[in-house]
Structure 1
Amino acid sequence: MSPESRVHLSRSAPAAYKALAAFSTTVGSLAASSAIEPRLSEIVQIHTSQINGCAFCVRVHVDRAVKIGLGADVIAQIPVWRESGVFTDRERAGLELAEAYARIHDGGVSDELYDRVGGILSEDEYVALSWILVAINAFNRVAIAGRYAVPPREDLQGEDRDAAAGSAW
């Protein structure tokens, strides 16, 4: 079955997708009011999308990361963050938490991880970052289940162009 013959969830149930987008907007406001930096937010969303295998969301969040000033070196280091020196302690905590949320089926957030992250992030920051991770995992599942296409950039149209520009949610 080709991606074109699959049901496109956001087009087939726009009210549900709009609710997910509104949820994401609420999460973004929570993150901003909790001092979660846009750089941290984009790094964890890229990493979550990489782990989940969501090419569509990787592209969207790499584009957003570039817009806020992340360079190719930082973006390229995300999958190997443990061996890299380009991330702050906050970003490392976020990346580790992103892995736990993406692999929630492997035991969730362990007490050790919770304590480690809690020693770096405030409770409000932990809560906001957790909601960011819940939201990106939801978007990953929508895009992966629907096999959302990742065409060459010159072929981006409509909703795909809006998502890449950050105006879809």
Structure 2
Amino acid sequence: MSNARINLGKAWPQGKTPLFALTAAIAESGLDRRLTDLINIRASQINQCAFCLDMHTKDARAAGETEQRIYALNAWRETPFFTDEERAVLALTEEITLIADGGVDDEVWAAAAKHFDEPALGRIVMAIVAINAWNRLGVTQRLPVGGYQPARS
């Protein structure tokens, strides 16, 4: 797909401004960048947002994430490539992203709470919510895929 269905940034920029602010707040919150990258990629896989997958896999690679972990992310439970903390975040990402399937399971929440304090859990939940919002915008707009380039550090 080469043309977007709608450019919401032009159609109603005031609607996207708070979402950009939330994303910036998450980036500046102290949440580990590797966790944010895993959240962004995994939710985007589930939501089938090609634009976000292109963006976040490129960003993750630029930040030092390995190809092996990116390729295996869709099957994270079956690999030894992720830490217990990352596994807890990935499980929580799936539960929140697929919330219509029954909500966030108490065991999944407890596993995340075992590894993270309440402020960190707040940042993790908001990161999951934010990428789900971006995914829905990306899929709805039919954003063109492939042209995104990570910012140079």
With structure 2 as the length reference, what TM-score do the two structures score? 0.91
Q: Is the 2:4–2:143 contact (alpha carbons within 8 Å) kept by the matching residues of 1?
A: no
Q: Could you tell me how far 1:121 is from its partner in structure 2?
A: 1.6
- Across the aligned residues of Structure 1 and Structure 2, the Cα RMSD in angstroms comes to 1.8
1:68 aligns with 2:53: no
Kindly tell me the number of residue pairs found equivalent between the two proteins: 152
Q: CA deviation at 1:27?
A: 2.1
Kept after mapping to 2: 8 A contact 1:42/1:61: yes
2:150 aligned residue: 165
**Residue segments in structure 1 that go unaligned for 5+ positions in a row:** none
Aligned partner of 1:29 in structure 2 is: 28
Gaps of 5+ in 2: none
**Deviations 1:46-80 (Å, cap 9, x if unpaired)?**
00000000011111111111111011101111001
Change (3 A) 1:166 1:104: farther
Please say if 1:103 is aligned against 2:98.
yes
Cα distance between partner residues in 1 of 2:137 and 2:2 = 13
Q: Tell me whether 1:128 sits opposite 2:113 in the alignment.
A: no
Residue identity over aligned pairs, in percent, reads: 32
In the alignment, what sits opposite 1:12?
11
Matches of 1:117 and 1:90, distance apart in 2: 7
SS in 1 for 2:115: coil
What secondary structure does 2:90 align onto?
A: helix
CA–CA distance in structure 1, aligned partners of residues 151 and 90 of structure 2: 22
Q: TM-score of the superposition, structure 1-length normalised? A: 0.83
Higher relative contact order structure (alpha carbons within 8 Å, sequence separation ≥ 6): 2
Equivalent of residue 46 in structure 1, options 12, 31, 41: 41
* 1:13 shift after superposition: 1.4
